[in-house]
Amino acid sequence: MGKDKLRKFTEIGAFENVYQLEEGLANKGLWAKSHFKNDHPIVLELACGKGEYSVNMAKAFPDTNFIGIDYKGNRIWRGAKTALEEGVSNVAFLRIQIEDILSYFDLDEVSEIWITFPDPQPQVGREKKRLTSDRFLDIYRGLLKQDGFMHLKTDNDGLYQYTLEKVADRGDEILLSTQDLYNSEILNDTLSIKTYYEKKYLLVNKNINYLKWRFKKPIA
C-alpha cells in the first residue's frame, strides 16, 4: 500500500463518521437513532467511492440521513473528510463489501438506494459480482422499505441495458429511464450531482445512463 493510501486508511479509523467492517454491526436497525440521533429516513449510496452523492445530497436534504458504502477506505476518506470539515452531520460512511449489507441493516430500514457508477463486470462469469444481478437485487429488496426507490447511474450502456431488462423481467416498476441524462428533461438538481468517475466520462462526452425503479409489492 502506498504512503498516501496508508495515511488515509489510518485516518479514517479515527473519523466519527466512518464505520469499518464489524464496527458497523451494532448499528443494525438503529442507524438513525444511534449514529444520527434522529428518526429521519436512511438513504444509501452503494459503490460510493469518494462519496460525492452522499455528501451533496446530505447538504441538499438536511432531514434525511445518508450512508455511503464502499470497500475502499482511501476513497471513503475523501467524502468523510469533506463532511467533517464542512460540518455535514447527516452523512456517514460504511466500509464493507456490499455482499454483506444485510448484516448491517434491518428489514425495511432503508428508504432509498443509489448505485453510482458501479464496476460493470461485463464478463459472463462475473455476473454474480454485478451490483444489479439477481443476487444483489434480492439483497436490496430485503432492506428497502415497501415503495422505496432504487436508482442506478452508469456510463456503461451494457450494464444499463442489463439492469433495465432484469428489472422488467422481475416484474418491478420502472419509473424513469434515460440513456442520455444530460440531454433529458428528467435532469434535476439531484441528478446533476456529479461523481468523480462521472466527471471523467463527461469530459470525453460519454452519455450517462440513469434508471429509477421500485420493487413490486409482495403477493398479499
Ligand X SMILES: C[S@@+](CC[C@H](N)C(=O)[O-])C[C@H]1O[C@@H](n2cnc3c(N)ncnc32)[C@H](O)[C@@H]1O
| Nearest distance in Å: CB 57, ligand X | 13
Q: Rounded to 5, what percent of the chain is helix, strand, coil?
A: 40, 20, 35
Cell numbers that stand for 12 in this block: 479514517
Q: How far is CA 28 from the centre of its chain?
A: 17
| Nearest distance in Å: CB 51, ligand X | 8
Active site residues: 119
- Give the nearer residue to ligand X in terms of CB position, either 36 or 117: 117
Confirm if 136 and 98 have CB atoms less than 8 A apart.
Answer: yes
**Footprint on this chain of ligand X (rule: CB under 6 A):** 47-50, 70-72, 75, 97-99, 116-119, 195-198
Query: Which 3 state secondary structure label does DSSP give 177?
Result: strand
| Nearest distance in Å: CB 210, ligand X | 13
Confirm if 177 and 210 have CB atoms less than 8 A apart.
Answer: yes
What's the Rg (C-alpha) of the chain?
Answer: 17
Partnered with residue 115 across adjacent β-strands are 46, 152
DSSP-H helix ranges across 31-180: 52-60, 73-86, 134-143, 157-169
Q: Which single residue brings its beta carbon nearest to ligand X?
A: 49
Cell numbers that stand for 103 in this block: 448484516
- Give the nearer residue to ligand X in terms of CB position, either 65 or 121: 121
- Give the nearer residue to ligand X in terms of CB position, either 38 or 97: 97
| Nearest distance in Å: CB 147, ligand X | 25
Confirm if 153 and 119 have CB atoms less than 8 A apart.
Answer: no
- Give the nearer residue to ligand X in terms of CB position, either 52 or 109: 52
| Nearest distance in Å: CB 72, ligand X | 4
- Give the nearer residue to ligand X in terms of CB position, either 98 or 144: 98
Cell numbers that stand for 71 in this block: 470497500
